[in-house]
Amino acid sequence: MTEPDVVDVWTVPLDRTADAARWLTADDRRRAGGIGDPDMLRRFVVAHAALNAILAGRLGLRPADLPFRRTERGRPWLAGVPVHFSLAHAGEVALVAVAGRELGVDVDHPRPGLDPRRMAARFFTAEEASDVAAAGAGAYRTYLRLWTRKEACVKAAGARLALGLRLPVAGAVVRDPSGRLTGCYFVRDLPADGEHVGAVALAGTEPASCRVYRFDRDI
């Protein structure tokens, strides 16, 4: 079903439509009903339809029968099966990651008006801010690589982003020297479409190989 030393990641293009009635759970449809913006709604439906299709295929279930539960903070998980997953989306790209241990995935892209050097100086460690400042034309990509690593670790920990902004994430194994974010995380950078940058973090120090796919099935 899943292997503890392997993480499977799908890149999902969101610039299409999906059969919401077929692939979304009742909770997905309830949440979709609160989204007024048509583009945001389309992205939500396609991303969650892809997630549910991947999990249903992995577990041999219909999407409506997926045993989703939510933590007190609203994080979804699967009851009674040793499968962990994470979903992230930015712009017209989503990433879905599935593994045999707790994990988090993140993806992001450049945004007009955001100064990566200024953001790094404000929120990152001094060493990371220096790396972004020294990256020249690659400053934004360096900033996004660090940002998505932090976000992936925070998601894997089930914590709030504020706890992970100063988390040093340069190495393959991430630990929070301040102790605010508990645990250790094995982190991998991920390829993504166009200017998008992604990362995945898995709980523990054990290395994991990464299999990357493109989700192109009809949904």
User: In a structure prediction context, what are the per-residue pLDDT tens digits for the chain, which is 219 residues long?
Assistant: 677 689 999 999 999 999 888 999 999 999 999 999 999 999 999 999 999 999 999 999 999 899 999 888 888 999 999 999 999 999 999 999 999 999 999 999 999 999 999 999 999 999 999 999 999 999 999 999 999 999 999 999 988 887 788 999 989 999 999 888 889 999 999 987 789 999 999 999 999 999 999 998 888
CATH superfamily, with its number, for domain 6-214: 4'-phosphopantetheinyl transferase domain (3.90.470.20)
Q: In whole angstroms, give the CA distance from residue 78 to residue 2.
A: 13
Q: Is the dihedral of CA 85, 173, 73, 95 positive or negative?
A: negative
Q: In whole angstroms, give the CA distance from residue 13 to residue 42.
A: 11
What pLDDT sits at residue 181? 87
| Residue pair 60/32 in contact by the 8 Å Cβ criterion | no
CA separation, residue 107 to residues 19, 20, 190, 191 (Å): 24, 23, 9, 10
What pLDDT sits at residue 71? 87
Report the candidate in 132, 127, 128, 102 with the shortest Cα–Cα distance to residue 117: 132
Q: Is the dihedral of CA 217, 106, 43, 194 positive or negative?
A: negative
Residue 177 contacts by C-beta under 8 Å, 6 or more apart in sequence? 168
What pLDDT sits at residue 179? 86
Q: In whole angstroms, give the CA distance from residue 149 to residue 51.
A: 21
Note the helical H segments in the chain. 20-23, 26-32, 38-59, 116-123, 126-133, 139-157
What pLDDT sits at residue 5? 87
Q: Which two tokens stand for residue 50?
A: 């892809």
Burial category of 217 from C-beta neighbours within 10 Å (exposed 0-12, middle 13-18, buried 19 and up): exposed
pTM of the model: 0.94
DSSP state of 179: S
